[in-house]
Amino acid sequence: MPAIALEATSADVASAPLAELVGIRKTFGALVANDSIDLAVQSGEVHALLGENGAGKSTLTRILYGLSQADSGEIRIQGRSTPMSSPADAMAAGIGMVTQEFSLVGTMTVTENLMLAGVGLGRIDRMAARARVLDAAARIGVAIDPDAVVETLSVGERQRVEIVKALFHDCRLLILDEPTAVLVPQDVELLFASIRRLTADGMGVIFISHKLHEVVEIADRVSILRRGRIVASVPARGLQPRQIAAMMVGADAASPGDDTQAAALATAIGLDAHVPAPPAAVSTGRGAALEIRDLTLAGASRPLLDRISLSVHTGEIVGVAGVSGNGQTELVRVLCGTTPATSGTVHVGGADITTAEVPARIAAGLGRLTEDRRGSVVLNLSVEQNLVLEDLDRFRNGPFISRRRISAHVRELMERFDIRASASDPIRSLSGGNMQKVLLARALSRNPTALVVSQPTRGLDVGACDYVYSQLRGLRDNGAGVLLVSEDLDELLELCDRIVVVYSGRIIGELSAAEASREELGLLMTGHTA
Amino acid sequence: MDFPILAVLAATFTIATPLVWAGLGAVINERAGILNLGIEGIMYAGAFVGFLTAASTGSLALGLTAAIVAGLAAGALMGLLTVTLGVNQHVAGIGTTLLLIAASEFTNRLLFSSGSQTITVKFDRILSGFFAQYPMTYVAFLLLAPALWWLLRSSGFGLRLRAVGENPEAADAAGIPVARTRYAALMLGSALMAVGGAFLTLSLLGSFTLDIVGGRGWICIALVIFGRWRVWPVVAGALLFGFTDALQLQLAITPFFSAVPNELMIAFPYLVVIAALAIWGRGVRYPGAYLTPYRRA
């Protein structure tokens, strides 16, 4: 019974922390991912773990959850040394983890998914499990249909199922790895309410996030990781996002704002979301860079795109917001020419490209940067080969291609776009950030009239995000039109001049960036028109 | 014209029996994420080992047991190849089929000089009239199918099996031993395939001949897709094939159809399977981890 376990927990609080990591060290070859890390999580506490990508947060939580083993150091649960050699050990010790990639079986019902852990071989008691699901859902204050098939649920609902799954096993410490990255604002509110209920119950929560305003809102304590070490562990009360950002990059926290690196970082992670972006340089004689008229794509039961009309002017970034699966992917595919539209027209710089093949689209001035980064390159080819893949014709001498001219072109691009790799490296060996730079270089080197961008910073660290943002702004300021499809509201608010919201394949609202608020966008994203 | 409809229906169940055994074995394998193309060879090995044991001991029970053991061993071999070594499942399965057919044939030639062997013991049909069927037919339809349906739906083992076939990462995170579950599924499924093969020698024919399985394994692979990996639709598919085969056998000896070439008649059930797959087999949803070996990240 959870209630009894919780009482025992609160009785022990005075003596020892809920969980304690002592002197954890983990290396991968020459890389020290975690270096003598000490971390304690108290019962009833939300402990935020912050750091850039590669700072060691994931490694640390994987060690705590038994997914990977530390080279040295100790894990103590309520003062007792507890080795974690597998997730089963962690679960037995009362630790639950919810990652961005949910571990749910999509074709099974919620109840079946929750029964999976610890299920025996014999008869299963579906009704009892069903009742426990309802119980656990009530504990976090959300409604969950125990008979719903998981793949029919929204991302927010799936996340709640994951949390309920952890509670199912008398979890006393919950690790949430970037739980808000995929949520619309209303779902974030629900999540925070659930977290507060759980901590009031005596549970401990490790909360990993890149969004500093959220950390400030929900955390009791903030620990910051930099290059595998804990560089600060401070109470969250009264902490300013800017100070946290400074600590993350290693600037002096006492003089926030003076440090340009910290300021750049703060910008990159969306702290200045409420400061409108600097007005575009081009303001007169705005033509349409990208003109979409009544674009429709038929689906099996309902249209995937339903009469989408949208123009992106030169010198403008237009954002497309929406919960994933509402037509964004299809819109990008149709614009890029990988899926033919059922009806409607698309013009780039005045030229009709509705039915054009991909090379003709590129020639008409359309640039593309799709969400499928690894699908946009040929993984086994080199950086150099990938960079010129789409315009080999430019380097032709009769039937042959000129290696010399390619090398010169590639060298220039790699320098201009700061690609940190060797031209002959296979592109699969590049980090996400560097790969994105290659794709940006490839798209921008042709000076496109209109650029279609989808999820440009997904999985990138703050430094790389900042770089992508500056490139997109630069393109805009040079007079191109940018269509930015993103699930990251901070990103959209940061970059866009206007934001349209798609829901169920239709545009159901448009807001100027200056007047757009997170709440308003969130409502539109869930299909509520004002 | 006096058409013996009851005889055709009775033959339908007899012909469908090996397909039910092997087809449901394939369902168990594929729901765990593994396409077992060893099916044709495993049926062949089951037919031969069952026959050989029954012939040399005079015991049908021992013959059936030996076929099951052969199936378990073949399942373990497929497990070694696809689960432990992570070999491409098409290659592992076809290799297993080639190996088992060749090994059975080779042993048969070594022991007996002529191609076809007859045993003195053989399962007899029970009951009479339309209900005159072999015991393994009754077991297939009345025990095996309901038991596997229950197993997949309402047992912990079934839940584990579906989880490793749909999303092994999630199963692993839930503490389910992915490799062990897949081995168990492969061995259970392969044992059922071997029983399907043994039905041919120990019940239907009472003899072992060259090419005795005759592509029934491949038919099962198609039936599983046709039945969308569910127990009862696969049984229905087996009955559909059984019916068309029984029908063509009957029509072949009906004077009205004597002008139709026999080859065309024999091809008829297979054409029906292809047609059925073309109609209902499109847009099916394969198990999530189909063909994919699991390795912890």
A227 vs A72, A232, A248, B17, CA distance in Å? 17, 12, 10, 64
Nearest CA in chain A to B166: A105
- Best A61, A119, A149, A165 residue to mutate vs chain B (most B CBs within 10 Å): A119
Q: What pLDDT was estimated at residue A213?
A: 80
Chain segment A146-197, per-residue pLDDT in tens: 999 998 888 888 989 999 988 887 889 999 988 887 787 888 888 999 999 9
Cβ-nearest to B155 among A88, A107, A121? A121
DSSP conformation letters of A158-170? HHHHHHHHHHHTT
Q: What pLDDT was estimated at residue A462?
A: 72
Question: Which of A91-95, A362-366, A524-528, B234-238 has the least mean pLDDT?
Answer: A524-528
Chain segment A373-390, per-residue pLDDT in tens: 888 888 889 999 999 888
Mean pLDDT over the full length of chain A: 84
Interatomic CA distance for residues A286 and A198, integer angstroms: 53
Q: Residue B175 and residue A86: Cβ atoms within 8 Å?
A: yes
How far B283 CA sits from the closest chain A CA (Å)? 12
**Kind and range of the H or E run holding A474:** helix A462-477
Mean pLDDT across the stretch A51-63?
A: 82
Scan for tokens 């499942």, then name that residue: B89
Q: What pLDDT was estimated at residue A264?
A: 52
CA dihedral B275, B281, B283, B289 (to 10 degrees): -150
How far A119 CA sits from the closest chain B CA (Å)? 6
Identity of the residue numbered A403:
R
- Answer yes or no: are the C-beta atoms of B221 and B20 closer than 8 Å: no
Residue B222: closest CA among B99, B39, B11, B1: B39
The answer to whether A103 contacts chain B (CB < 8 Å) is: yes
Q: Which residues of B touch A115 (CB under 8 A)?
A: 159
How far B175 CA sits from the closest chain A CA (Å)? 6
Q: Which fold has domain B5-124+135-280?
A: ABC transporter involved in vitamin B12 uptake, BtuC (1.10.3470)
- Answer yes or no: are the C-beta atoms of A484 and A456 closer than 8 Å: yes
Q: What pLDDT was estimated at residue B202?
A: 94
In the predicted model, is pLDDT for residue A11 greater than 50? no
Question: Which of A7-16, A155-164, A362-371 has the least mean pLDDT?
Answer: A7-16
Q: Residue B288 and residue A106: Cβ atoms within 8 Å?
A: yes
Q: Which residues of A281-292 are buried (b: 16+ CB within 10 A; e: fewer)?
A: ebeeeeebbbbb
Alpha-carbon A148 to chain mean position: 26
Interatomic CA distance for residues A335 and B241, integer angstroms: 47
Q: Which residues of B touch A123 (CB under 8 A)?
A: 154-156
Q: What pLDDT was estimated at residue B1?
A: 53
Q: What pLDDT was estimated at residue B200?
A: 96
Highest-pLDDT range among A8-22, A72-86, B93-107 = B93-107
Q: What pLDDT was estimated at residue B22?
A: 98
Q: Residue B166 and residue A105: Cβ atoms within 8 Å?
A: yes
Q: What pLDDT was estimated at residue A283?
A: 40
More confidently predicted of A86 and A526: A86
Interatomic CA distance for residues B248 and B15, integer angstroms: 12
Chain segment A111-146, per-residue pLDDT in tens: 999 999 888 888 999 999 999 999 989 988 888 999
For chain B, which residues lie within 8 Å of any Cβ of chain A, measuring from their own Cβ?
154-157, 159-160, 162-163, 166-167, 169-176, 288
pLDDT digits (tens), chain B, 297 positions: 567 888 999 999 999 999 999 999 999 999 999 999 999 999 999 999 999 999 989 899 999 999 999 999 999 999 999 999 999 999 999 999 999 999 999 999 888 876 566 777 788 888 888 889 999 999 999 999 999 999 999 999 999 999 999 999 899 888 899 999 999 999 999 999 999 999 999 999 988 888 999 999 999 999 999 999 999 999 999 999 999 999 998 888 888 888 888 888 889 888 988 898 888 878 888 998 999 899 876
Contacts of residue A248, Cβ cutoff 8 Å, sequence gap at least 6:
A50, A51, A52, A55, A224, A226, A265, A462
How far A104 CA sits from the closest chain B CA (Å)? 6
Interatomic CA distance for residues B71 and B40, integer angstroms: 12
- Answer yes or no: are the C-beta atoms of A509 and A319 closer than 8 Å: no
Scan for tokens 């123009």, then name that residue: A311
Tokens describing residue B256: 């009205």
- Best A69, A89, A105, A301 residue to mutate vs chain B (most B CBs within 10 Å): A105
In the predicted model, is pLDDT for residue A255 greater than 90? no
Q: 0.80 exceeded by the pTM?
A: no
**A265 confidence band (pLDDT: 50, 70, 90):** low
How far A415 CA sits from the closest chain B CA (Å)? 34
Q: Which residues of B touch A87 (CB under 8 A)?
A: 172-173, 175
Nearest CA in chain B to A111: B159
Q: Is residue B259 classed exposed, middle or buried when 0-12, 13-18 and 19+ CB atoms within 10 A define those classes?
A: exposed
Percent of chain A exceeding pLDDT 70 equals 89
Radius of gyration of chain A from its Cα atoms, rounded to whole angstroms: 25
Q: What pLDDT was estimated at residue A87?
A: 82
Cβ-nearest to B175 among A112, A118, A126? A118
Q: Residue B166 and residue A107: Cβ atoms within 8 Å?
A: yes
Q: What pLDDT was estimated at residue A251?
A: 54
In the predicted model, is pLDDT for residue A7 greater than 60? no
Which residue intervals of chain B are DSSP H helices? Answer: 5-31, 39-57, 60-79, 89-111, 135-138, 145-154, 156-166, 168-173, 178-199, 216-226, 231-252, 262-280
**A246 confidence band (pLDDT: 50, 70, 90):** confident
Interatomic CA distance for residues A172 and A495, integer angstroms: 40
Backbone angles phi, psi at B129, to 5 degrees: 65, -135
Tally the residues of chain A: 530
Instruction: Give the residues across from A512 on adjacent strands.
Output: A498
In the predicted model, is pLDDT for residue A259 greater than 50? no
Q: Which domains does chain A have, with CATH numbers?
A: 2-239 (3.40.50.300), 242-270 (no CATH), 273-365+447-530 (3.40.50.300), 378-445 (no CATH)
Scan for tokens 């509670």, then name that residue: A167
How do strand A481-485 and strand A221-226 relate by DSSP bridges? Answer: unpaired
How far B150 CA sits from the closest chain A CA (Å)? 9
Mean pLDDT over the full length of chain B: 92
Looking at residue B139, the DSSP 8-state letter turns out to be: I
Which residue intervals of A237-324 are DSSP H helices? Answer: 241-249, 260-268
Residue A319: closest CA among A178, A504, A478, A507: A507
Mean pLDDT across the stretch A320-324?
A: 85
DSSP conformation letters of A192-230? HHHHHHHHHTT-EEEEE-S-HHHHHHH-SEEEEEETTEE
Q: What pLDDT was estimated at residue A501?
A: 92
Which residue intervals of A108-154 are DSSP H helices? Answer: 110-115, 126-139
Radius of gyration of chain B from its Cα atoms, rounded to whole angstroms: 19
Q: What pLDDT was estimated at residue B116?
A: 65
Cβ-nearest to B163 among A116, A118, A121? A116
Mean pLDDT across the stretch A413-442?
A: 86
**A257 confidence band (pLDDT: 50, 70, 90):** very low
Interatomic CA distance for residues A319 and A521, integer angstroms: 12
Highest-pLDDT range among A107-121, A236-250, A290-304, B24-38 = B24-38
